[in-house]
Chain A
Amino acid sequence: MKSHVRTAFTVFGLLTILTGAVYPALVTLIAQGVFPYQANGSVIMRDGKAVGSELIGQTFDIPRYFWSRPSATGPMPYNSEASSGSNLGPTNPALIEAVRDRTKAVREAHPDQSGPVPVDLVTASASGLDPHISPAAAEYQVKRVAKARDLKDDVVRELVRKNTEARTFGVLGEPRVNVLRVNRALDALNVKE
């Protein structure tokens, strides 16, 4: 009995050192050496200043930018300190009302579009930090962005295409457009002109 207790504490202590200290330290060491960009949050730098992470979405909701998906984080959307989904159930009136309001706003901002509104543009993501929209959601917004920036549709469409990722190996996940990257590309284009 007494020897079991001593053994239990010793084994726990040794395994704690091994799995709780040596293991994460070793992974960190190698990760920082081999993949420093990814290990530190895939942060995009401009002039030595961090302007965002390509993995963490930001709020975009004015005409000159591609809009990101609705975010359910509080107190502000895309609060990366408090990731959260809406957790609204499928029959919750609050969900249907929110979708109705968003759909209305999207339709009003895109009078030249008559087709269905891409679902991802009017539903909140799981993390509240989704950095992507679907290609359909981007295409839906191309004309509006082009108009707001006084650019040709095809110029904007080309930027979307450049910032679209296909399914991994052609099968995994879904095709997607990185909103921060495409919007930064738009800004860069305007600066050049």
Chain B
Amino acid sequence: MNPNAWIQLAIYLIVLVALVKPLGWYMARVYQGQPCGLDRVLGWLEPGIYRLAGIDQQSEMGWKTYAFVVLLFNAIGLLAVYALQRLQGLLPFNPQDLDAVPPDLAFNTAVSFASNTNWQNYSGETTLSYLTQMVGLGVQNFVSAATGMAVLVALIRGLTRHSPSPPTPLPQGARGDSATIGNFWVDLVRSNLYILLPLSFVLALLLVSQGVVQNFQSYQQIDLVQTALDADKKPVTTQTLPMGPAASQIAIKQLGTNGGGFFNVNGAHPYENATPLSNFLELLAILLIPAALCYTFGVMVGDTRQGWAVLAAMMVVFVPLTIGCIAAEQAGNPAIDREVRFPLAGRASDGSQLPSLARPANEDEDSGGNMEGKEVRFGIASSALWACATTAASNGSVNSMHDSYTPLGGLIPMWLMQLGEVIFGGVGSGLYGMLMFVIVAVFVAGLMVGRTPEYLGKKIEAFEMKMASLVILIPPLVVLVGTAIAVLGPGLEYTDKGEMKNPPNPGAHGFSEVLYAFSSAGNNNGSAFAGLNGNNLFYNTALGIAMLISRYWLIIPTLAIAGSLARKKYTPSGAGTLPTHTPLFVVLIAGTVLLVGALTFVPALALGPVAEHLQMTAGNGAQP
């Protein structure tokens, strides 16, 4: 890593951590129903929505009702996005006259956005009308993020509802499911109104100032300065500039860990991410809410040290992996280095006799390193940092093409997803996933010292462990089984000559592309090794199902734990209670995450990126 990369990483982390406390504190006030400042401006809107929708703000839900309305609301969203895509040809705000999206692609995209994954099998500028983007995808960007936040808050309530006087008094003789964990509608509306909308509004305008487009014009044609040639050597004299309401959508797709781009290449497109400053802001937005929610959690459980401990465990995993990724990319691709550094005449044909490779003359100006699939304005440091942030969080937007990363540089983003999207993870979903690992860590520690495990005064018993295990084990199951099915045949396509057509890259890298796709869908991330053509019946369906399972089959057990914990009595901590805010416990959480992730995925990773790395360093991949 060059000095500039260290500085960029340091600045990023410092700004991020500095914002955790103020935003986390603010969000805690929002979820605890306290005055937060914005309620003075938008205060008329909230009760208005409740009145129109017939919501009693004071009435709370047990976990089963909460889960039911979460699923109901998400199902409506999913159907709405599907319908919009199928009918877009008949609807307004479609200046390019784009036709209806085919059913399998529309299903995939609808699931993708409802589940906060935002996997893109579509290409925005050629497939979706402005109306579909705004009213379909844009709305899901907000509500799917808010769904994750609501479920998290419900879980936190489950952990905290033990005080003698709960905020809402339970009915006389309340038992079983009548232990409540909040009102989903209130959590949903407040998340949107006081957190996501205001932050997006500010970010969108900042992005426009940098050159991100925001308009409703049709595409603009311009005359090229120099005539170019197309694939058939026919002259091309014009260029068509895509337009659209991009900034408003990009702001929320970054903040809500959605990641579905307005344009095909997502955050690498100059109209989505115009300058290094817009890049920094979008990068900050990726981890902002997931990190700040840790502090919100601390405030709500009445001990901010608990929140900092969880955040520290995330950092312990995130920072070293990011450093590894940047270093791998800056080290570059030996095969390409060999080509660009040595005059053709002096080049040894097998590459073995070459002198040791010196860095190119202008290392600090980024003329070296792996620049395939990266933009000059970002360079390698900002690209690799983004790749790690977007996969640590379940964001999935990209500002460089992960498919062209060096094998180790690509392994790290893939593994960050496979860890279960709990290192920051999705807004809300990352932290509730992480809390499942915390429950497991507490349980393991309890076994080691021979005491009943407790977390925040709640006994962790068989039911919680079963549910937490479900949350932790379902995504790897989906990823590995999905990948296995795909490479057995259904996910492979051949040309007439019998050559592999999809995945397009040969050898170990082709396997990595398939593994990456299922890792991304099976953990609701949404980024891709984009060479893989996912827009066919098999991948549209299989990845769609993977996304559905990994989102909703985790929400249900999580809410079940919330309900179960809410019913439990508070056990005051004693001499034998394991404190859960110490460095020791931070290591224990991070260790649990890494161990589960490593044990589950090392074999698969060995077949993909690790094999490719050995191939690359041995020089075999370099000789066409």
The chain A residues found within 8 Å of chain B, CB to CB, are: 3-12, 14-16, 18-21, 23-24, 26-28, 30-32, 34-35, 38-43, 49-53, 55-62, 65, 69, 74-97, 99-100, 103-104, 107, 114-120, 122-137, 167-168, 171-176, 180, 183-184, 187
A116 to B337, CA, bound (A): 9
- Cβ-neighbour of A90 out of B134, B135, B367, B407 (below 8 A): B407
Complex contact B360–A118 (CB within 8 A)? yes
Inter-chain CA distance A130–B401, complex, in Å, is: 13
Residues facing A in B48-92 (CB within 8 A) are 49, 52-55, 65, 68-69, 72-73, 76-77, 80
Q: Given A89-B509, A115-B361, answer yes or no on A82-B125 (Cβ-Cβ < 8 Å).
A: yes
**B115 beta carbon closer than 8 Å to chain A:** no
Residues of the B chain whose Cβ atoms lie less than 8 Å from the Cβ of A125? 268, 373-376
Q: Whole-angstrom distance between the alpha carbons of A4 and B123 in the complex? A: 36
- Assess whether A172 is in contact with B236, with CB atoms less than 8 Å apart: no
Q: Can you name the residue of chain A whose Cβ is closest to the Cβ of B141?
A: A19
Do A6 and B225 have beta carbons less than 8 Å apart? no
Q: For A78, give its contact among B188, B239, B341, B381 (CB under 8 Å).
A: B239
Give A18 to B197 CA distance when docked, in angstroms: 9
Closest to A85 in B: B401
Known: A89-B512, A90-B612. A11 touches B73 (CB 8 A): yes
Q: Name the one of A4, A42, A118 contacting B274, with C-beta atoms under 8 angstroms.
A: A42
- Structural contact, A127 and B270, CB atoms closer than 8 A: yes
The answer to whether B11 touches A38, judged by C-beta atoms less than 8 angstroms apart, is: no
Which residue from A21, A53, A75, A97 sits with its C-beta under 8 Å from B231? A75
- Residue of A whose beta carbon sits closest to that of B334: A90
A98 CA / B362 CA spacing, docked (Å):
23
Asked if residues A116 and B209 are in contact (CB atoms below 8 Å), the reply is no
C-alpha gap A180/B216 in the complex (Å): 26
Whether B372 lies near A88 (C-beta < 8 A) is: yes
A selection of 16 A-B contacts at a CB cut-off of 8 Å is A15-B142, A20-B139, A39-B213, A60-B226, A69-B376, A91-B620, A92-B506, A96-B622, A117-B340, A119-B368, A136-B360, A136-B362, A136-B365, A171-B11, A173-B276, A174-B366
Within residues 369 to 409 of chain B, which ones have a CB less than 8 A from any CB in chain A? 369-379, 381-383, 398-401, 403-407
Question: Is the CB–CB distance between B243 and A55 below 8 Å?
Answer: no
B77 proximity list for chain A (CB < 8 A): 12
Interface residues of B in 598-622 (CB under 8 A from A): 612, 615-616, 620-622
Other-chain contact of A100, B197, B339, B406 (Cβ < 8 Å)? B339
Measured CA separation A175–B404 after assembly (Å):
22
Residue among B135, B189, B210, B374 making CB contact with A38, cutoff 8 Å: B210
* Closest 7 pairs (CB-CB, A-B): A173-B276, A91-B621, A87-B531, A174-B379, A93-B624, A89-B509, A126-B268
The complex places the Cα of A183 from the Cα of B505 at a distance, in Å, of 36
Given A49-B223, A60-B226, A91-B622, A123 and B204 touching (CB < 8 A)?
no
Chain A positions within 8 Å of B212 at CB level: 38
Q: Does B535 sit at the interface, judged by CB under 8 A? A: no
Q: A11-B189, A27-B214 are in contact. Are A89 and B403 (CB under 8 A)?
A: yes
- 1/0 per residue B206-249: CB within 8 Å of A? 00111111111101111111101111100010011111010111
Residues of chain A lying within 8 A (CB to CB) of residue B196: 19
Contacts A12-B80, A65-B226 given; 5 further ones with Cβ under 8 A?
A85-B530, A93-B506, A126-B401, A130-B375, A132-B377
Of B76, B200, B379, B401, the contact of A8 (CB 8 Å cutoff): B76
CB atoms of A122 and B340 under 8 A apart: yes
The answer to whether B372 touches A55 (Cβ under 8 A) is no
Whether A173 touches B382, Cβ cut-off 8 Å, given contacts A75-B231, A116-B361, A126-B374, is yes
Q: Which of B52, B76, B340, B373 contacts A126 (CB 8 A)?
A: B373
Q: Which residues of A contact B336 (CB under 8 A)?
A: 95-96, 99, 119, 122-123
Check if A78 sits within 8 Å of B360, measured CB to CB: no
* Given A87-B401, A91-B615; A24-B248 close (CB under 8 Å): yes
B41 CB, min distance to chain A CBs, angstroms:
14
Pairwise interchain contact B214-A32, C-beta atoms closer than 8 A: yes
For residue B112, CB closer than 8 A to chain A, the reply is: no
Contact A133 B376 (CB under 8 A): yes
Which listed residue, A19, A126, A130, touches B197 by the CB 8 Å rule? Answer: A19
Determine whether the beta carbon of A59 is less than 8 Å from that of B226: yes
Given contacts A127-B268, A174-B379, contact A107 B404 (CB under 8 A): no
A82–B241 CA distance with the chains assembled, in angstroms:
10
Known contacts A10-B54, A31-B208; is A83 also within 8 Å of B372 by CB?
no
Q: Do the beta carbons of B622 and A6 come within 8 Å of each other?
A: no
Q: Which residues of the partner chain B approach A97 to less than 8 Å between Cβ atoms?
A: 624
Residue B126 lies at the interface, judged by CB distance under 8 Å to chain A: yes
CA–CA, A119 to B363, complex, Å? 11
Return chain A residues, CB-CB under 8 Å to B407. Answer: 90-91
State the Cβ distance, B8 to closest chain A Cβ, in Å: 6
**Contact B54 A168, beta carbon cutoff 8 Å:** no
CB distance from A74 to the nearest CB of B (A): 7
Taking a contact as CB atoms under 8 Å apart, the answer to whether B232 and A75 are in contact is yes
Residue of A nearest to B68 (CB): A4
A125–B401 alpha-carbon span in the complex (Å): 9
Interface string of B272-305 (1 = CB under 8 A from A): 0011110110000000000000000000000000
CB neighbours (8 Å) of B362 from chain A are 118, 134-136
B226 contact set on A, CB distance < 8 A: 58-62, 65, 183
Residues of B within 8 A of A131 (CB): 270
A171 / chain B contacts, CB cutoff of 8 Å: 4, 7-8, 11
Q: Which residues on the A side are within 8 Å of B360 (C-beta)? A: 115-116, 118-119, 136
- Smallest CB separation, A26 vs chain B (Å): 7
Most central of A87, A95, A171 by chain B CB within 10 Å: A87
A122 closest partner in B (C-beta): B340
Minimal beta-carbon separation of B87 from chain A (angstroms): 15
Specify the chain B residue showing the minimal Cβ separation from A130: B375
Interface membership of B138, Cβ < 8 A: yes
- Is the beta-carbon distance between B404 and A90 smaller than 8 angstroms? yes
